Every structure is written in C-alpha cells, then in structure tokens.
Amino acid sequence: MSLVAQALRWTKAHLVLALGIVVLVYMFVPIAVVVLMSFNDPGKSKNVYRFHDFTLHNWAHPCGPAGMCHAVGISVGIGLLATLVATIIGTMAAFGLVRHEFRGRSFANTVIFLPMASPEIVMGSSLLALFVARGFGGRLGFWTIFIAHVMFCLSFVIVTVKARLSGLDDNLEQAAMDLYANERETFWRVTFPLVLPGILAAALLAFSLSFDDFIITNLNAGQTTTFPMFVWGAAQRGVPMQVNVIGTVMFLIAIVLVVGGEVNNRRQTRALAR
Amino acid sequence: MAAITAPARATEDTAKRVGGGRWTAYWLLAPGALWLLLFFVVPFYSLVSASLFDPNGSVLTGYDVTYHVGNFGTAVKNYYPELLRSLWYAGLATLVCLVIGYVLAYAIAFKAGRWRNLLLVLVIAPFFTSFLLRTLSWKLILSDHGFIVDLFQKVHILGSDGRLLNTWFAVVSGIVYNFLPFMVLPLYASLEKIDGRLIEAAGDLYASPFTAFFKVTWPLSLPGVVAGTLLTFIPAAGDFINAQLLGGPGQRMVGNVIQSLFTSTQDYAAAGALSVILMALIVGLVLVYIRKVGTEELV
C-alpha cells in the first residue's frame, strides 16, 4: 500500500484527531516563521517581511541592533523580580484558599478571577490613572512596570498552584503526622515537595507573561524600554532580524524547561513505584 | 471560573484541617489581597475619576475632577465606529476560536491517548514566543506576494490586485490565532471530565454520533464553552496589537484609540471615559450572555 493511501486511511479512521493536529500545526506556523527569519539576510531590500537569503549573521551578532539587548536585559530583570514576588505571595494565597475555611473565600476567588477577565487596555489605563493621580506620572519606569506585572501575574500563579494543591492526596500528610512529624516537618518534607512542580509551573507561566506583556507595560513604562516595546517601536520602521533570534532562544529555553520538568516528574514517579 | 477551578472545589473542604489557627488563612492571603486591592481595584476608581476630568486640563497643568459627565457623550460620539468594530471583531474571532478550539480540545480529551500531556504542552507552547513576534509573523504570512495571497488570487477568492493585509480578515485571523489557547484550555478542562460511558450509553440507545454529541457531549461541556468564550472575547475586545500590525486605518479598534489618547495625545479625560465605556459594555454583554446560557457555575 502506498504511503499516501495509508495516510488517507488513517485520516478517515481518526478524523477528529487529524483535524486537531491540523489546528496544532496552524498554531506553530508563525513560530516556524520566527525561527526561519532568524536566519534571514534581508540584504539591501528594505522588505523585512520576506525571506531573502540564508545567513548566520543574526545568530553571531545577536546584539547588533542598538538598544535591543539593553531592552532584553530590562525585560529579564523585571520578569525575574516580578516572577519571584508573584510566585511567593501567590503561592501563599493559594495555600490560604485551598487549605482553610474562612468567611469571604468565594469573594476572594472572584477577585482573583477578575484580572484574568479584564481587558489589558483597561487594567493598564487604570494603573496609569492611579500613578498620575498620585504624582508618579513623572516617575514611570522600572518599578511601575514591576508593580503592574506582579498584579497581572498573581491570578495566574494562584490558579496554577491551587490546581496542584487541591489535587494532592492528603493521606500522605496524615501518614507523616502519624509517624510523629510535627506540622513544620510535615509541611517542608511532604507538602512542599509535592506542590513544588505546580509552583515551578506557575513561575514559568508568570515569567512568560511578564516577559511578553506589551499593552499594560507600554502605558506604564515612561522612558523605560522593554523587549516587546523595542519590537513595537522597530515594527514601525522595519524590525531587525535579531528580534527573531531572541524569540527563538526564549522559546527553546521554555521548551527545555517544560520537557525537562516532565521527564524529571516521570523519573520520580517511576522511582516511587519501584 | 468553573472550568478552571472546579477540580479545586472537591478537595478544598477535605483539606482544610491541616495546619494553623483561624487567622492563618487571612495572613496567607494578606499580601496578595493587598496587592490586588492597591493595584487592581483602587486603579478602577482612579480611572473613573479620570473619566470625569475637566477636558480642558492637561498633563502639565493638572486635571480637576469636575464630574464632567459630558466626556462620555463626546467619547461615544467620536469613537462609536471603533467601539462597535471591536465588539464585532472580538465576537467573530471568538466564534471561530470556539469551532476550531473545540475540535482540538475534543481530539486531545478523547482521541489522544497517551499523547495527551504532550499535546497540552504544545497548546501552551506558542505563549513562549513573544505575542508581538507571532503577530509580525502573520504579517509576513499574509503579506502581498506571500503564499496565501498568491493561492487566493489563483483560485479567485481575491482579485489579481487583492490583498489580505489591512483588511478585516487579517485582523480577525490574527485575533483568532493569538487567543486560541485561552479557548482550548477551559474547553479541554471540561471535556476531560466527561464520563465516556455516557456517550457510549447514548450510542447503545440508538443515538447517532451526531445526536449523541448534541444531546450529551455539548451540554456537558457548556461550562468550558462559557469560560473559553469569555476568556477569548474579553481580551480580544480590548486588543489593539492585531489591528495595528495587521490592519490599516479602516480597522482601528477601541484599544488603538485608548492607547493613542493616553500616550500620544495625552487626553486623559477622553481616554478614561472610553476605557470606562469599554469595560461597561463588556460587563453588560457578559452578564446577558451568562444569563442566556444559564450557567450558575461561573466563578
């Protein structure tokens, strides 16, 4: 049977899966373009929306365009700091919400959901209005971006950690207690290691959200330029091909982290099962 | 949000006995709650007061809150095409996302077998490259002598000088692309919980696959549908990146207007009023929608 006929038969038998894969491929087409364009040499033509010639120049000189690597540095700095703060206070909040019964819990859940369901332009302009009204209009920059990023990352951290935490088998904690571990020991030696993958996933999500944000950042950045703001500014004139190098690298790092985490998880599960 | 937090609910009550006195929960929640209060709730108040500024003020001379309700009328009068266009583009994009997102979520939930986790990672993987870079990629894909335009011209969907960039089609497909994961994840979360035996039972009772889907699967996935459509529609309605990069002057959305009023014109009164109107429209539409679909399970 020819390969084509085989593929056709498989498609007929798995129509929904085949369609799903088509949708997934569609989701990856622009990423493939980003990777491809990182090897593009636009030559003398000013058209940066067309693959002209293959080159390794962009990879050899990633910091070629003036100001780009500085912007990447600022984005990484804000991203790390905002991720750290949002992950810590978000994890605390998730523990409070899942592990304790208290008045106002459903209200708290609603307030946490709202930032995920508000248009960024409204959140960004509200914050700007606040900063201007409080006299911070002239001091917009690193710290106002940081405040904004922690704010919109928090909800995503809480939801992610909550999902992990509420899926835990609390018999394990009971067992630790039965074996004379006190509360502190139980928490640090049983609960926390079990929740850790959820916390790390939340941190990765927070960092990507922060690194990627443009709408809220742009309103509250003042004179500071983050990487997305650099790309936006450059897009008006013609983006330097090196932005695609940064895009590709960020993508690869994230994929390595996710896959590494998954492999590590599986190894641990197998070790436990043995 | 039912589809996201529902698994949490089941064990939330059983786990509460671990640790701490009755104030512990408040201490744990305090920093996060304070941050959201100061930088999410309070700013709305600032925004509403900005929308009531005296329009004659400026950033340099300062603004007075003069309860100038007229700002709202002026904003609607000047910018109603952008407002309507935003809702229309966001609604259309949400519908397209629902159709193709449902196919993908269904395939992952019921047909993927042991590849499920891998496929889920692939759904969120696009988030790891910049939103702006991905949108710029679409600009390249849809650009004038690109493959898609050539193909469309050949099969006469487009005229020989027709183009895709700077049309509503480009903007809507950009929005569909960028917000698709927000649709797929909640849909998957609620499809995954459906007991496959219910669908089998429908088949045993002589329902065609078609009937079984519309009488069993679809109603059971409604919480995910509601969550997914909201998480797609709301950010899409405020988005301006797709309209700016893929559209032309004829595709400006309300986000573009608010953004340029704040950053270039620095007309805070008009920008504030327009933001408040956008938020009010969205809240209104969401309330009507939830009532129509009739899910109590939200949030």
Amino acid in position B234: I
* Cβ distance of A109 and B5 shorter than 8 Å: yes
Residue A158 and residue A204 in one domain:
yes
pLDDT of residue B25: 84
Burial class (CB in 10 A: 0-12, 13-18, 19+), A1: exposed
Residue among A128, A151, A158 minimizing CB distance to B262: A128
Tokens representing A58? Answer: 């962009």
Residue A16 and residue A106 in one domain:
no
Pairs across A and B, CB distance < 8 A: 307
* pLDDT, tens only, A218-244: 999 988 999 999 999 988 887 888 999
Q: What are phi and psi of B252, to 5 degrees?
A: -60, 135
* pLDDT, tens only, B79-106: 999 999 999 999 999 999 999 999 999 9
What is the dotted CATH code of the domain comprising B81-293? 1.10.3720.10
B5 contacts on A by Cβ (under 8 Å)? 109, 113, 159, 162-163
Q: What are phi and psi of B65, to 5 degrees?
A: -80, 105
Q: What's the rounded Cα separation, in Å, for the pair B260 and A19?
A: 40
Residue A152 and residue A213 in one domain:
yes
Q: Is residue A230 in a domain? A: yes
Q: Which residues contact B65 (CB under 8 A, 6 or more apart)?
A: B49, B52, B53, B54
B190 min Cα distance to partner chain A (Å): 14
Residue A151: closest CA among B31, B8, B228, B179: B31
Residue A98 and residue A194 in one domain:
yes
Residue A110 and residue A226 in one domain:
yes
B245 contacts on A by Cβ (under 8 Å)? 235
- Does pLDDT of B121 surpass 60? yes
Q: Is residue A190 in a domain? A: yes
- Does pLDDT of B20 surpass 90? no
Per-residue pLDDT band at B17 (split at 50, 70, 90): very low
- Does pLDDT of A266 surpass 90? no
What CATH number is associated with residue A125? Answer: 1.10.3720.10
In sequence order, which ranges of chain A are alpha helices (DSSP H)?
3-13, 15-37, 57-60, 68-99, 105-113, 120-133, 142-166, 171-178, 183-186, 192-212, 215-220, 227-237, 242-273
Q: What's the rounded Cα separation, in Å, for the pair B283 and B234?
A: 9
Instruction: Please give the tally of structural domains in chain A.
Output: 2
> Cβ(B55)–Cβ(B71) under 8 Å?
yes
How many percent of chain A have pLDDT more than 70? 97
Residue A53 and residue A85 in one domain:
no
Q: What's the rounded Cα separation, in Å, for the pair B132 and B174?
A: 11
A164 min Cα distance to partner chain B (Å): 9
Residue A170 and residue A202 in one domain:
yes
- Does pLDDT of A158 surpass 50? yes
pLDDT of residue B9: 41
3-class secondary-structure state, position B59: coil
Q: Is residue A250 in a domain? A: no
Residue A134 and residue A7 in one domain:
no
- Does pLDDT of B60 surpass 80? no
Q: Is residue A254 in a domain? A: no
Question: Is B139 near chain A, with CB under 8 Å?
Answer: yes
User: For chain B, what are the domain ranges?
Assistant: 81-293
* Residue-range definition of the domain harbouring residue A18: 3-57
Residue A103 and residue A200 in one domain:
yes
A158 contacts on B by Cβ (under 8 Å)? 32
Distance of CA B1 to the CA centre of its chain: 14
Q: Is residue A251 in a domain? A: no
Instruction: Provide the mean pLDDT of chain B.
Output: 84
How many percent of chain B have pLDDT more than 70? 87
B8 contacts on A by Cβ (under 8 Å)? 98, 162-163, 165-166
pTM: 0.86
Residue A117 and residue A81 in one domain:
yes
* Cβ distance of A163 and B28 shorter than 8 Å: no
Q: Is residue A118 in a domain? A: yes
The ipTM value here is 0.86
* Cβ distance of A123 and B263 shorter than 8 Å: no
Residue A32 and residue A112 in one domain:
no
Chain B segment 170-209 residues within 8 A of A by beta carbon are 177, 180-181
Residue A233 and residue A201 in one domain:
yes
* Cβ distance of A98 and B122 shorter than 8 Å: no
